[in-house]
């Protein structure tokens, strides 16, 4: 019986970290869809593969460093602060990509899959680098 209690002892911390992580994911998505000049969710609902790939890549590119922040943080506040850093880096990556490739803002809504793949891959790549840098 004691081993069961010991194994469930961290459930409260798990729930708090998971809840804060979900809030950060929701905040990221809310901000990301405001930064893009197109309606990401509407495009995805309409079956736009370029938008789905781009948004999925951005989401994964944020979640990977967020997971690293959860795993390596020393406190809930530390995790939340590094989560915000991950959010800022991912939004900045999109803005840099859009500045360097201005046509991408037209390509995604037009359903040009290559642009969606590129933007999604860029987001995941930046996220992996971001996560690696958080392990200091």
Residue range 98-122, pLDDT digits in tens: 999 999 999 999 999 999 999 999 9
Residue range 41-97, pLDDT digits in tens: 999 999 999 999 999 999 999 999 999 999 999 999 999 999 999 999 999 999 999
pTM as predicted = 0.90
Cβ within 8 Å of residue 127, ≥6 positions away: 60, 61, 62, 63, 64, 65, 86, 90
Binned at pLDDT 50, 70 and 90, residue 135 comes out as confident
SS3 labels along 100-124: HCCCHHHHCCCCCHHHHHHHHHHHH
Count of positions (residues) in the chain: 136
Query: What are the structural domain ranges in the chain?
Result: 2-133
């Amino acid at each position: 019986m004691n081993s069961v209690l010991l194994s469930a002892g961290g459930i409260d911390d798990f729930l708090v970290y998971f809840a804060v992580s979900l809030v950060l994911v929701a905040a990221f998505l809310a901000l990301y869809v405001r930064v893009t000049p197109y309606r990401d969710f509407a495009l995805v609902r309409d079956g736009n593969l370029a938008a789905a790939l781009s948004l999925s890549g951005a989401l994964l590119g944020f979640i990977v460093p967020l997971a690293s922040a959860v795993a390596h943080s020393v406190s809930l506040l530390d995790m939340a602060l590094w989560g915000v850093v991950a959010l800022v880096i991912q939004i900045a990556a999109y803005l840099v990509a859009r500045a360097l490739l201005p046509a991408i803002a037209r390509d995604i809504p037009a359903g040009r899959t290559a642009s969606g793949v590129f933007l999604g891959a860029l987001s995941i790549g930046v996220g992996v680098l971001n996560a690696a840098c958080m392990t200091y």
